[in-house]
Structure 1
Amino acid sequence: MPQHIYLISGMGADGRLFQKLRFPENYVVHHLPWLTPVSPDESIAAYAARFVEQIAYPNPVLMGVSFGGILSMEIAKQIPVKKVVLVSSIKSSAEKPAYFNWVRRLGLLHLPDQLILQSRYPVVKFYNNIETQEDEQLLKSFLSRQDNVYLRWAIRTIIHWQSNTIPAPLYHIHGTKDRPFPFRNVKPTHVIQGGGHFMVLNRHQQMNAILQVLLD
């Protein structure tokens, strides 16, 4: 029997993020593209419910990177899943880094687009631990296609996310040099030494070795 796995990329990225991953032969891979929020105030639960509508097969495996991991957690609250695999993400609000509070308290989310969304490449490049020219080209492609309405909603949703519900079984793969979600704040089940936020690409060999075990 085939096993269906649904992949959710990081914020504003797409299925190309997973291009170097290799899954067991019995796995059928599906990509869940990001949706446009119906309103600036759409809850993450309501947003996740719209993703659930795209999941055609019962008891799937969910795999999410970064914000995609958070969304995977929310989907798993609404439907039965075989397992959840988080990559470079967090599994509860207790793992959120302290700088999230600074962003909220300083009102940085209310700054105009020109200040927080335009000319942001150097900051995004740093936080994603970009190591290779291939990484850089792909990141630039992601940024060129991003929508400000979606970005504002996504950033605010991550900053304010509150959840302590952890589905089982859950596996969490994290790199020791992750910048958006520092390693010291999380308790992963699998560690990639030296891995950063883009490790799904530039540490794909280690990722594939782990996935072959997790998805057997």
Structure 2
Amino acid sequence: MPDATAEPRFYLIPGLGADERIFSRLTLRGRVRVLPWLPPLDPDEPLPAYAARMAEQVPLDERCWLVGVSFGGTVALEIARLRPLALVALVSSIPEAGALPPLLRFVRATGAQHWVPPQVLKWFPRVGQWYFGVNDGEEYALFKQILREQEPRYTRWAIRSLFRWDSRGVGPCVQILGTRDRIFPPGPSKVEYLIEGGTHFMVYSHAAEVSRILNQLAADFATEPPVVP
């Protein structure tokens, strides 16, 4: 049985093109490590192979929480296939490929991602601000900086990987969504934690509430594995 007195361990995986800055407002009780994105080995590197390389940073025998934001949640679920003691919390993400919202299913079906440049939001940051639900001021400044630093080759790979994701047999997770998330809006299926007013950027804008939930999860499941209905 896991040691109930052990300090919780969190591995944080940011969203597509983001980095540790989006977690800067979180206050987690335990040991925290951000898993930085690795460059894909090639444009068609399979997602499971990529996740295996990311998983090398997570000890096989360590009980921990993998906290994935947006596309980071997809990678967290794939890492969890290889780390049986890891528990997964999704922030502004989806638990399986069938949960893609209608807009993204349309993009996938039409192949629009192939002819829209991945850096398009760099040119129209205010559109991105609305879509991601980013507030003016400090949040928007950070958002624009993240957009400027996005690497097109990685972005293309990540979008392709999300649309090709084979989530069959993926393990359980706890989903944390915002009521105003335009990218992954709450659907008809059950969401364990729904943050009122939260957007796709809520790991930063609603960091206090996200932190409270993650700390509570770590405390609740200190000795027993989670049972997700």
TM-score by length of 2: 0.86
CA apart distance, 1:134: 1.2
1:21 aligns with 2:26: yes
Give the structure 1 partner of residue 156 of structure 2. Answer: 152
CA apart distance, 1:107: 2.3
Give the structure 2 partner of residue 83 of structure 1. Answer: 87
Segments of 5+ residues of structure 1 without an aligned counterpart are none
Give the structure 2 partner of residue 179 of structure 1. Answer: 182
1:127 aligns with 2:156: no
CA apart distance, 1:4: 2.1
1:43 aligns with 2:25: no
Give the structure 2 partner of residue 33 of structure 1. Answer: 36
> Do the aligned partners of residues 186 and 159 (structure 1) sit closer, same or farther apart at CA in structure 2, a change above 3 Å counting?
farther
User: Which SS does the other structure have where 1:76 is aligned?
Assistant: helix
Where in structure 2 are the equivalents of 1:187-198 lying within 5 Å? 187-198=190-201
Q: Percent identity?
A: 38
- 1:92-124 C-alpha deviation (Å, 9 max, x unpaired): 112111222321232212216388465142332
109-118 or 179-188, larger mean C-alpha shift:
109-118
User: Which SS does the other structure have where 1:172 is aligned?
Assistant: strand
User: Which SS does the other structure have where 1:201 is aligned?
Assistant: helix
Measured in 1, the distance between the counterparts of 2:104 and 2:65 equals 29
Measured in 1, the distance between the counterparts of 2:158 and 2:126 equals 20
Measured in 2, the distance between the counterparts of 1:40 and 1:164 equals 23
Give the structure 1 partner of residue 227 of structure 2. Answer: none
Measured in 2, the distance between the counterparts of 1:178 and 1:141 equals 21
Whether the aligned pair in 1 keeps the contact of 2:178 and 2:197 (CA below 8 Å) is yes
Whether the aligned pair in 2 keeps the contact of 1:90 and 1:186 (CA below 8 Å) is no
User: Which SS does the other structure have where 1:29 is aligned?
Assistant: strand
Letter in 2 for 1:137: A
Give the structure 1 partner of residue 11 of structure 2. Answer: 6
Q: 2:65 aligns with which of 55, 61, 64?
A: 61
Segments of 5+ residues of structure 2 without an aligned counterpart are 1-5, 220-229
Give the structure 1 partner of residue 169 of structure 2. Answer: 165
> Do the aligned partners of residues 208 and 118 (structure 1) sit closer, same or farther apart at CA in structure 2, a change above 3 Å counting?
closer
Measured in 2, the distance between the counterparts of 1:67 and 1:165 equals 18
Letter in 2 for 1:37: P
- 1:164-187 C-alpha deviation (Å, 9 max, x unpaired): 43424x211101111111112553
Corresponding pairs, count? 213
CA apart distance, 1:156: 1.4
Whether the aligned pair in 1 keeps the contact of 2:69 and 2:90 (CA below 8 Å) is yes
TM-score by length of 1: 0.91
Give the structure 2 partner of residue 138 of structure 1. Answer: 142
